[in-house]
Structure 1
Amino acid sequence: MIIEIKVPTPGESITEVELGKWLVEDGDIVEKDQEIAEIESDKATLTLVADEAGQVSLKLEEGDTVEVGSVACTIDTEKQPAETGAKKEEVVRENAKSPSIADSDIKKEVPLVKPEKASVDHEHVKTTAVAKKMMEENNLSVDDIINGLKRISKKDVEAVLEAPKGSGVLAEASKATFSREENREKMSMLRRKLSQRLVAVKNETAMLTTFNEIDMSPVMSMRKQYQNQFIETHGFKLGFMSFFTKAVATAMNFHPAVNSMLDGEEIIQPEFVDVGIAVQTPKGLMVPIVRNAESKSVPAIELEIKELAEKARSKKISVEELTGGTFTITNGGTFGSLLSTPIINPPQSAILGMHNIVDRPVAVNGRVEIRPMMYVALSYDHRIIDGKDSVGFLVKVKELIENPTLLLTEGKNLESILLEL
C-alpha cells in the first residue's frame, strides 16, 4: 500500500514552510517513526517522521517552499525493512542459551571476521601499533580507513597535477599552501525571519542600553553548598539562569513598565511575567518561553529551562512554546562575552543580557577584595520605559542576585515585612 506523508502544520498562523534537509535518500527503506526530513518555518525547525515502515519516494527538493499539507513523500509499505544484523546477533545469542544447540554449531554459524589484507595500492601504507590494534578490534582494513578518510576535492586534484612527476607520496602532493574556495549556503527560513526582526527593531524602536555589575559570590556559594543535595532531591543541576529568571520576574513588581509593550497608541502591561530564554541551536537562535515565572519556584524554573533548551536543540520544540513572552534574557557569557548590548525581541520592550563571570578587584566595606563579577546590560525601548524604571529595574535585579534569599519574600527585606512597609 502507498501512503502519503504530508507536511504538518507548525502552528495556526503558519501556512508555508521550507523543506530544510532530507535525512534519507530516495528509495531508502525506513522504519516506522523514523525521522526522514527537517521542516523549517519562520519560528522553529521541526522533523518529519515516517508514519509506517517501507520504501520512501521523495516528492520535494531541499530548499523548496511549500504549503502546509503538501505531500512531501510517499512510503510503499509492501517493502519492509530487512532484519538488521543486530537482531540476527540477538537471535543467535538466544539460540546459544538453548540446550538443544551445541556450542560447536554456534561457532559455525557465527565465524570470526578477520580484517582483510590491504590491497596492492595501499600495502605500503605505514600503520602505528595503536592504530593496528584498533583496526583489528573493529575488523577494519587499511582500505576501509583510506576509503572512508575523506572525499577528493578540486583542491586535491589540482595539488596532484601541479606536483613534480615521480614525487610518489600522495600526502606530500595533496598539501595545499592556501585556498581560494568558498562555500555558499542558502539562509534558512528561521534565520531570514530573525534577520528581518532584528533590523526592524533597530529602525522602529528608540533602543537604549544601561549597564551594571553584579557580585556573584552569594549565588555561587549557595550553588557550591547545596548542589549535591539539590541534584539528589530534584535530579538535575542548579544553574544561574533560574536565579536571574526569578529575579527579573520579582523586579517587575517594583518596575512594571519594563514588562510592558507598545500596541499602536496603547501600552499593554500584562499582570503575568513570561520570560523568554535565548537558546543557541544549530539552526539559529530560538527563544523558548517560561510562562508565569513570577509564580514558580527556582527549581521549577530550572527544570523548565532545561527541558525547553533540550527540545530546542533537538528540534522537538513546538511553536506554542516559542510564541509570546513579555521579557527576554540572553546569556552571552556562555561563549565568553564580557560586555554587549542585546537587541530587543519585539514586541517586547526590554531584554536583559548576562555576561561572563570574571574575578575582579572590587571595593568591599572599604577594602579591596577579589570577587567573581558579572556585567549585566538592559536594553529597553525608551518610548515607553523611562530611565528611572530601566536603571531601577537593573539595580533591583542586582540586589536580588546579591541577596538571593530576598527571592523568598518577593524582593522585600524582613524588616519591611515586619513593619508592613
Structure 2
Amino acid sequence: MSIEVKVPVLGESVSEATVGQWLKQPGEAVALDEPIASLETDKVAVEVPSPVAGIMGAHVAAEGDTVAVGALLGLIETSGVANAPAPAPAAAAAPAAVAADDAAALSPAVRRAVLEHGIDPATVKGTGKDGRLTKEDVLAAAVAKQAAPAPVVAAPAPAPAPAPVVSTSGERREERVKMTRLRQTIAKRLKSAQETAAMLTTFNDVDMSAVMEARAKYKDVFEKKHGVKLGLMSFFAKASVLALKDIPSVNAQLQGDEIVYFDYVDISVAVSAPNGLVVPVVRDVDKMSFAGIEKAIADYGKKARDGTLTMADMAGGTFTISNGGVFGGLMSTPIINPPQSAVLGLHRIEDRPVVRDGQIVVRPMMYIALSYDHRIIDGREAVTALKTIKEAIEDPTRLLIDM
C-alpha cells in the first residue's frame, strides 16, 4: 500500500517551499515520524516527518523543485510493514552514537558540518534530544580528529620526487550555484526595504567602560545563578526599551496610510545561521530581566546553528538589533527589517583616545548606528532615541531606575 506524503502547512502567509534535500532514498527503511525530506521556506528549513513506518517509495518532487502547501512530495510503501512507533531512546547505559541509517536524518546544519569536516556520524556520540547529533558534537569530533596523532607505519623506500606540475594555461574557473529560497527572500526583502522606506542613518559613539566593568564584576556570579553568560545584548536591549518607550514612533510601523503604535517591545535579534542571516524575535523585552533576555538570545543562537528555528520564532517584531561587531565591523548602516521602522546596529569595541574633564584618556569605545524610516520618524526623534541608548549604556543605573 502506498501512503502519500504531502507538503505540510508551513506557517501563516507561507504558501510554497523549495525541496532542499531528500533525507531518505527509495528503498530505505523509514520509521514513524522520522524526517524524510527538508524543505526551505522563505525563512527557515522545515523537516517533513513520515506519517507511517515503511519503505521510502518514489520521490515525486525533486530537490530544487518549488512545491505548494498540500502538493505531493513522495510515497511511503507499507506493504508487509507494521506501523510501529518510532524507536524509543536508547537506555542510559547504551552508547548514543548515531547509526548509519540515521545519518541521513540529521538536521541541515549537522549534515553540512559532517560533510565539511569528513566526520562519520556513526562514530560520534550525540548530546541532543534522544541522542541526536548537534553541530557542536560534530565540531568537537573534528577538533579531536585533528588533534589525534597519526598512526605510525613503516615508511616505504622513498621514491624519486615527481617533477612539479606547472599550469601554463592560465585557466580561470567559475562556479554557478543556485540561490537558496532563504537567500532569495533575503535579497528581495533588503532591496524592497531600500526602495520602499525613506531610509536614513544616524550615528553616535558609546563609552563602554561602565558596562564592561559591570560584566567583569558580576559575570561569574551571574552565570552561576542564572546558568547563562552576561552579554552585551541584554544591556542594549534594555537601553533600547527606554528609548522606544520615550520615542514611540521608533517602535511603530507604517501600514497603508496609518501608523501603528505598539505598547510592547518585541525585539528581533539578528543571528547568523548556516543559510544566511535570520532574525528571531525576543518578545515582551520590556517585561524581561537581564537573565531572561540572555537566555532567550542564547536559545535562539543554538537553534539557528542547529537549523531548528521555526516560523513562529521569527514572526512579528517591532524593532531590530544587529551586532556586526562580533565579525569585527567598525561602522555600518544597517538595513531596516520590514515592516519595522528602525534598526540598531552595534559594532566592535576598541580602545580610542577621548577627552574627559579636559584630559585625553583611553576608553573602550563603540560606534552605534540607528537606521530609520524617515516617513514616520523625524530626525530629531531618531537622534534622541540613539542618544537615550548611549546615555543608558554609559550609565547603566538608568536601566534600573527607568531614566
User: Where on the TM-score scale, by shorter chain, does this alignment land: which range?
Assistant: 0.7 to 0.9
Query: In 2, are the aligned partners of 1:354 and 1:376 still within 8 Å (CA)?
Result: yes
* CA deviations over 1:262-320 (Å, ceiling 9, x no partner): 11221111111111111111111111111111111111011111112222332222212
Letter of the structure 2 residue corresponding to residue 284 of structure 1? G
Change (3 A) 1:177 1:233: farther
- Equivalent residues of 1:47, 1:316 under 8 A apart: no
Gaps of 5+ in 1: 92-128, 137-141, 143-166, 413-421
Give yes or no for contact 2:228–2:291 (8 Å, CA) kept in 1.
no
Q: Distance in 2 between matches of 1:287 and 1:366?
A: 42
C-alpha distance in 2, partners of 1:194/1:263?
Answer: 21
Q: Structure 1 residue aligned with 2:353, among 346, 361, 368? A: 361
Q: Say if 1:178 and 1:369 are closer, same or farther in 2 by CA, change over 3 A.
A: farther
> In 2, Cα distance between the equivalents of 1:30 and 1:191?
31
- Match of 2:65? 64
Matching residue within 184, 191, 199 for 1:199? 191
Identity %: 46
Name the CA distance, whole Å, in 2 between partners of 1:178 and 1:21. Answer: 36
State how far apart, in whole Å, the 1-side matches of 2:180 and 2:349 are: 33
CA deviation after TM superposition for structure 1 residue 2, in Å: 4.3
User: Structure 1, residues 391-419: CA drift from partner, whole Å, max 9, x if none?
Assistant: 01001001111111221112x2xxxxxxx
> SS at the partner of 1:132?
coil
Partners of 1:250 and 1:176 lie apart in 2 by: 64
CA distance in 2, matches of 1:305, 1:35: 27
Matched residue, 1:139: none
Structure 1 residue 236, shift from structure 2 partner: 1.5
Q: CA deviation at 1:388?
A: 1.1
Counterpart amino acid of 1:228? D
Pairs within 5 Å for 1:324-339:
324-339=316-331
Paired residue for 2:278?
286
Report how many aligned residue pairs link the two structures: 340
Cα-to-partner distance string for 1:20-65 (whole Å, 9 max, x where unaligned) = 1223433333455443322111122222234455432333211111
| 1:360 CA drift (Å) | 1.0
Instruction: For 1:245-394, list aligned pairs within 5 A.
Output: 245-394=237-386
**Over aligned residues, Cα RMSD in angstroms?**
3.1
- Structure-1 residue corresponding to 2:133: none
* Corresponding position: 1:236 with 2:237: no
1:400 counterpart residue number: 392
| CA offsets 1:107-140 (integer angstroms, 9 cap, x no match) | xxxxxxxxxxxxxxxxxxxxxx95224x89xxxx
In the alignment, is the contact (CA less than 8 A) between 2:274 and 2:307 conserved in 1? no
Question: Could you tell me which amino acid in structure 2 is paired with residue 132 of structure 1?
Answer: P
Where 1:384 maps in the other structure, the secondary structure is coil
TM-score with structure 2 setting the length = 0.77
Once the two structures are TM-superposed, the CA of residue 173 in structure 1 deviates from its matched residue by 4.5
Cα distance in 2 for partners of 1:2, 1:174 equals: 57
Q: 1:89-117: CA deviations, max 9, x gaps? A: 969xxxxxxxxxxxxxxxxxxxxxxxxxx
Deviation at 1:384, TM superposition (A): 1.0
- Paired AA for residue 205 in structure 1: A
* Alpha-carbon contact 1:213-1:376 (below 8 Å) kept: yes
Question: Tell me, which stretches of 5 or more residues in structure 2 are unaligned?
Answer: 96-147
Q: CA deviation at 1:380?
A: 0.6
Provide the rounded CA distance (Å) in 1 between the counterparts of 2:43 and 2:206: 33
Aligned to 2:27: 27
Structure 2: how far apart are the matches of 1:236 and 1:369? 33
Distance (whole Å) between structure 2 residues aligned to residue 362 and residue 63 of structure 1: 54
The 2-side partners of 1:177 and 1:367 are apart by: 62
Q: CA separation of 1:217/1:176 partners in 2, compared to 1, >3 Å: closer, same or farther?
A: farther
Q: Please, which moves more after superposition, 176-185 or 343-352?
A: 176-185
Q: How far, CA to CA, are the matches of 1:184 and 1:28 in structure 2?
A: 31
